[in-house]
Amino acid sequence: MPFPKPSDILPSEITSPDIYKQRRRFVQAAGAGMVAGALGLTGARAEAGEKLSDVQRSVWTLPDKPTPLNTISSYCNYYEFGPDKDSPQRNAHRLQTRPWSISIEGEVMRPQVIDIDDLLKLAPLEERIYRMRCVEGWSMVVPWVGIPMIEIIKRVGMTGNAKFIEFYTLADQEQMPYIRFPLLDWPYMEALRMDEAMHPLTILAVGLYGEVLPNQNGAPVRLVVPWKYGFKSAKSIVKIRFVSEMPQTTWIKAAAAEYGFYANVNPDVPHRRWSQSSERRLGEFRKRKTLPFNGYAEQVASLYAGMDLRKWF
């Protein structure tokens, strides 16, 4: 389906102000006032729940009713903070999101380390209401705030050998208690094919509902690829690496028969333990029919023309 014109609804109007006040603290260290200024936040201390300024409405959005903020921030997959859906909200307060930098390396012409606040200046922040679909069968609608991934690619310039991009997340035992357990091969790493990363739907998110991104949702910066299952959207990114060969991502190493590299939402390709033909949107009792590419087929299906999507799942 074609995307509509930008909504006239402001991020702050989507949910009640009372819910906004329930977020965990964003910064507790010295220098928080400077961070708040860089982000355009009000007050002397930047906290999760405070607004991001100068957020533009994007045409890359959908008219679906967003999932409430308290649901998005309390029902998460973030194994570094625990295996249960409510574990991240309980444990992610440990995460210190300043100072924070991202190393960009590999097959690029200008390798560099970019500070999170410099990242925010690369392009205007945009709000994009995206459908998100988890491999376990639940879904939500999230009003992300972020910048297109293509802005990073333009900044560093890729060589002719760059075919894929890897995204590495933070792995710190002191801040992330479940790193001490071999749940997965840490650090968590996901990857995209280059044309997927360059697609205008692919963003680096720094907030949701017009606010600073809560820790449990991947602060201070995470990947969002809305036509893929949620595990592809790496959280708390510290390194981006451009490579020539398709990498072995974290979930492929853990269970290659269940989690393919592409992970495009596909109702015709079941998980080994459950069907993917339907989903339940959080907050609803009825099930919905799963849409190919999570409803973004018109925008992204051409990326996979001629591919057997049962083989390349």
The range of the structural domain enclosing residue 104 comes to: 11-304
Distance CA 114, CA 99 (A): 11
Let me know if residue 45 belongs to a domain. yes
Q: Do the domain assignments include residue 113? A: yes
Q: Is residue 107 helix, strand or coil?
A: coil
pLDDT (0 to 100) of residue 15: 36
- Taking 90 as the threshold, does the pLDDT of residue 50 lie above it? no
CA of 151: how far to CAs of 148, 185, 200, in Å?
6, 29, 10
Helix (H) or strand (E) holding 32: helix 32-39
212 touches 41 (CB < 8 A): yes
CA-CA distance, 229 to 136, in Å (whole number)?
Answer: 9
pLDDT at 10: 36
What pLDDT sits at residue 47? Answer: 53
Q: Is residue 312, in this structure, part of any structural domain at all?
A: no
Q: Is the pLDDT of residue 237 over 90?
A: yes
| 309 within domain boundaries | no
Span 109-124, pLDDT tens digits: 999 999 999 998 999 9
Q: What is the DSSP letter of 249?
A: -
Round to whole Å and give the CA distance between 297 and 104.
30
User: Is 310 within a domain?
Assistant: no
Query: What are the CA-CA distances from residue 256 to residues 26, 32, 39, 114, 184 (Å)?
Result: 36, 42, 40, 33, 13
148 belongs to a structural domain: yes
Mean pLDDT value across residues 230-252 = 98
What local confidence, expressed as pLDDT, does residue 290 receive? 97
Please say if the pLDDT value at position 85 is more than 80. Answer: yes
Whether 4 is covered by a domain: the verdict is no
Q: Which of 49-58, 70-79, 190-199 has the lowest mean pLDDT?
A: 49-58
The CA dihedral of 161, 162, 164, 167, to the nearest 10 degrees, is 130
Could you tell me which of 207, 203, 191 has the C-alpha nearest to residue 252? 191
Provide the pairing of β-strand 56-57 with 237-243.
unpaired
Q: Do residues 250 and 299 lie in contact, with contact meaning Cβ atoms separated by under 8 Å?
A: no
How many independent structural domains does the chain possess?
Answer: 1
- Which pLDDT band holds residue 8 (cuts at 50, 70, 90)? very low
* Arithmetic mean of pLDDT, 209-222: 97
Residue 313 lies in a domain: no
> What is the domain-level CATH number for residue 279?
3.90.420.10
- Parallel, antiparallel or unpaired: strands 237-243 and 101-106: parallel
Q: What confidence score (pLDDT) does residue 46 get? A: 40
Other CB atoms within a 10 A radius of the CB of residue 254 amount to 12
For residue 43, is pLDDT > 80? Answer: no
Which pair of structure tokens corresponds to residue 25? Answer: 């603290």
- Where residue 213 falls among pLDDT bands split at 50, 70, 90? very high
Distance (Å, rounded) from C-alpha 293 to C-alpha 42? 38
* pLDDT score for 53: 87
**pLDDT tens per residue, range 134-187:** 999 999 999 999 999 999 999 999 999 999 999 999 999 999 999 999 999 999
